[in-house]
Amino acid sequence: MDRDHRTVEQEYEHLKSRLAESGMDVDLDEAKERLKRQRLETPSWGYGDSGTRFYVFKKPGAARNVYEKLQDAAEVHRLTGVTPTVALHIPWDKVDDYTALKRYAEDLGVKIGAINPNLFQDDDYMLGSITHPDPGVRKKAVAHMLECVDIMRTVGSKTLSIWLADGTNYPGQGDFRDRKRWMTECLEEVYQSLDEDMKMLLEYKFFEPGFYHTDLADWGMATITAMKLGPKAKTLVDLGHHPLGTNIQHIVAFLIDEGRLGGFHFNSKKYADDDLTAGSNDPYELFLIFNELARAENEAGGRLDVDYMIDQSHNVKPKIPAMIQTVMNLQRAYAKALLVDRKALARAQQEGDIIGAERVLVDAFNLDVEPLLRMVRAELGVPLDPLKAFAESGYLERVIKERSR
């Protein structure tokens, strides 16, 4: 056993002793095993150049195509051990041979995850895609989603992740109810094409690019639509897609209880849909979201059928370190949620002890869980500090040279 591993074990045992001395009724070893099973999906679009509405800031070494995106995603997985799948966006990641693309990903040590149709970057979609008043445009949008389902079959994906930019900018521009009916009819056709082991995730957004209304504007609309479609359709929660002040953890709990939580797009925002690093603005909120997930996992035997996906476009930060930082933030929030004293929390809630109940959560949030996370990484066989390991790996310097040719 090397010196670093001995130190990690000592720190881990010290944390276990401190938890026992504090009287917290938690199982550190169980938390460690669940952290080792944590799976996060990174997005292909998080590795290529992207920009604000005003400019695209070019990053040296940024991936130029889907193959290079997969290379970068594989490097993140190599360093973190918990990001084995990569979401694709079609046609951004369109190729002629998806069987070859699947094989290429697997040779790198990753797999292709959710397939995301693009229903917003086409001149025909100015007035909407599946809510467009022209049935020919709606048919075109449906055909694209059906194409994505075929891609899923080829690459082995089980998740069709749909976000609609459809909406209007002015009162009277479109009829709310007509658009709602067209949307449901189109989604129904796509839903019926899914294999039995596939699922459709419906992502909502409060506003943008339609600034008067969005056809699928909130979690209630997405969930009602999913319920109309059937059990293979569920709601996707994007942390940036809510009005300011929204209690996202309450939405998460409600969807869990209804059996309709299908997935997440993890990111963060300050004012609007900024797609910032998850946990960068409100780490306590992220912890509280994971608190609901951890409790539900307890009731489900340690696992939930939920896709944990990252949705970030790093316009200012360097691409790969920003993705690694996001993964580490999500691991940290999950670790703290796993160490909530559930018995003490339930007791305080039952007794109406408001201060005591809140203190249980705050105590878990304030824990230094780095010894636990280092132990997890040691047992996964990945670097104890993935960010430092990437900085010292020479990977970025190498791909800058290769991708400047």
Q: Checking DSSP bridges between strand 199-203 and strand 233-238, what pairing results, if any?
A: parallel
Comparing CA positions, the residue from 278, 286, 205, 282 lying closest to residue 252 is 286
Backbone CA torsion sign across 43, 48, 52, 57: positive
Start-to-end Cα distance in the chain: 43
Token duo for residue 134: 């022209």
Q: Checking DSSP bridges between strand 167-168 and strand 213-214, what pairing results, if any?
A: antiparallel
According to DSSP, the residues that pair with 266 across neighbouring strands are: 310
Q: Checking DSSP bridges between strand 41-43 and strand 199-203, what pairing results, if any?
A: unpaired
pLDDT of residue 316: 87
The answer to whether the CB of 125 falls within 8 A of the CB of 137 is yes
Q: Where along the chain do its domains lie?
A: 38-340
In this predicted model, what pLDDT tens digit does every residue of 318-371 receive, in sequence order?
Answer: 999 999 999 999 999 999 999 999 999 999 999 999 999 999 999 999 999 999
pLDDT of residue 86: 98
pLDDT of residue 54: 80
pLDDT of residue 2: 65
Low-confidence ranges of the chain (pLDDT < 70): 1-3
Burial of 179 (0-12, 13-18, 19+ CB in 10 A): buried
pLDDT of residue 370: 98
For 158, what's the count of Cα atoms within 13 Å in the CB-facing half-sphere?
Answer: 11
Helical residues (DSSP H) of 156-246, grouped into ranges: 176-193, 219-229
What class has domain 38-340?
alpha beta
In this predicted model, what pLDDT tens digit does every residue of 227-252 receive, in sequence order?
Answer: 999 999 999 999 999 999 999 999 99
For 111, what's the count of Cα atoms within 13 Å in the CB-facing half-sphere?
Answer: 13
Alpha-carbon gap, residue 71 to 99, rounded angstroms: 17
pLDDT of residue 356: 98
Q: How far is CA 237 from CA 217, 309, 310, in A?
A: 12, 10, 11
